[in-house]
Chain A
Amino acid sequence: MLKMKNINKVYQTEKVQTHALRDFSLDVEEGEFIAVTGPSGSGKTTFLNIAGMLEPFTKGQYLLDDVDVGTLSDNQRADLRNQKIGFIFQGFNLIPDLNLYENVEVPLRYRGIKSAERKRRIENCLEKVGLASRAKHLPQQLSGGQQQRVAIARALAGEPRFLLADEPTGNLDSLMARQVMELLEDINREGATIIMVTHDAELARRAPRNIQVVDGQLADFTLYQSRPSGVVTPANVAVEA
Chain B
Amino acid sequence: MFIHYLDLSWRSLRRTPLISALMIAAIAVGIGITMTSLSVYHMMSMDPIPHKSDRLFHVQLNTMDEGRTWTTEDNLPYQLTYTDAMNLYNADFPERKTMSMRTGFSVHMNSSEVKPFLEGARATGREFFAMFDLDFVHGASWTENQQINASPVVVINQELNERLFGGENSVGRQIYLDDESYEIIGIVKNWEIHTKYYDLNNGAFNRMEKIFVPFSLVVSKELSSWGNTNGWKFEDVRTFQDHLQSEQFWIQFWAELDTPEEQQIYSDYLRTYLSEQATKGRFERETVQFALRNVNQWLEYNNVVTEDNRVLVGLSFMFLTVCLANILGLMLGKFLRRAPEVGVRRALGASKRQIFAQHLVEVSVLGLLGGLFGIGIAQLGLWGVRQTYSYYSALATMDTYMLLAAPAIAIGACVIAGLYPAWLVCRTTPAIYLKTQ
Contacts and interface: CB of A to CB of B under 8 A. Distances in A.
Contacts of A95: 341, 344-345
A55 interface: yes
Interface string B1-19: 1001000000100010000
A93 B4 contact: no
Contacts, number: 75
Contact of B351 (A75, A90, A97): A75
B173 interface: no
A79 B348 CA distance: 10
B341 to A, nearest CB: 6
Nearest to B7: A102
Contacts of B348: 82, 87, 106-107, 110, 154
Interface string B242-282: 00000000000000000000000000000000000000000
Interface string B400-436: 0000000000000000000000000000011100111
Nearest to B426: A74
Given A45-B435, A91-B437, A166-B435, A97 B11 contact: yes
Given A75-B352, A97-B11, A97-B15, A54 B347 contact: yes
Contacts of B351: 74-75, 78-79, 110
Interface string B321-365: 000000000000000000011011111111111100000000000
A111 to B, nearest CB: 6
A54 B431 contact: yes
Nearest to B348: A107
A52 interface: yes
Interface in A70-116: 74-75, 78-79, 81-83, 87, 89-91, 93, 95, 97-98, 106-107, 109-112
A87 B11 CA distance: 25
Contact of B345 (A55, A75, A106): A106
A195 to B, nearest CB: 15
A102 to B, nearest CB: 9
A110 B358 CA distance: 11
Contact of B435 (A90, A109, A111, A158): A90
Q: Size class of A's contact patch? A: 20 to 34
Nearest to A48: B431
A110 B354 contact: yes
A109 B340 CA distance: 19
A54 B433 CA distance: 11
Contact of B349 (A49, A55, A74, A110): A110
Nearest to A46: B431
A93 B346 contact: no
Nearest to B1: A109
Closest 6 CB pairs of A and B: A82-B349, A78-B351, A107-B348, A49-B431, A54-B431, A110-B349
Contacts of B353: 75
A68 to B, nearest CB: 19
